[in-house]
Amino acid sequence: MEELLGLARDPAAEEARLPPPPAHRRRPGLAVGLMESTVETEVRAAHNVLEACAQTDVMKRVVFTSSVTAVVWSGAGAHREEVADERSWSDLAFCRKFKLWHALAKTLSEKTAWALAMDRGVDMVAINAGMLLAAPGPGLGLGLTAAHPYLKGAPDMYDGGVLATVDVGFLADAHVAAYESPTAYARYLCFSNAVCRPEDAVKLAQMLSPAPPRSSPPR
């Protein structure tokens, strides 16, 4: 499980375990700068979308898609003494320290959206989704692998009982319900599968493993 899904440990300790990267990749500052730029882009996009919604008179409600990763990372990692719920937020300093860029982007972009929504009087509901999964089928194009940024720190999330996934149909229904229900408000954690047992972890790892190439039939 750990070898497939990666670790969220001290970056220095992790770097010491790994073989040196190729020469053209030995520029950690460049990689960090690129990821920070990606975080800024997502935050700016959230701001622009909410600003556009605030400027229209026909907008009934905004259903903002966020992530469970904006909830689960406390200053002690995924091992919280208190229960993580819709009132919880991931710790920004922790996310930066351990380079949890996906969690950092989702946390900052959601906080930005909430700040603007409250300032401009926008009716907003947030759906904090687990990692999105879809049934196999043509045209889905989700490309899920163990390198998915959601899974940075997956072993810690698994140990803390907060590694969760959501089926695409379940998530779509949750968005519709959040939009249509007059009593919906604030944030909702949305997941259909909790990866809590070894067999759950094995199943997820198998789903994320690349399929072996098909051998050509003998001629």
Catalytic residues: 106
Tokens, residue 197: 């047992």
Tokens, residue 98: 């351990």
Please report the beta strands in the chain, taking only residues with DSSP state E, as ranges in sequence order. 62-67, 124-129, 131-133, 164-167, 186-190, 193-194
Are the C-beta atoms of 162 and 68 separated by less than 8 Å? yes
Short-list 137, 114, 119, 138, CA closest to 186: 114
Please report the beta strands in 52-130, taking only residues with DSSP state E, as ranges in sequence order. 62-67, 124-129
Torsion of CA 183, 187, 188, 190, to 10 degrees: 140
In angstroms, the CA 148 to CA 126 distance is: 22
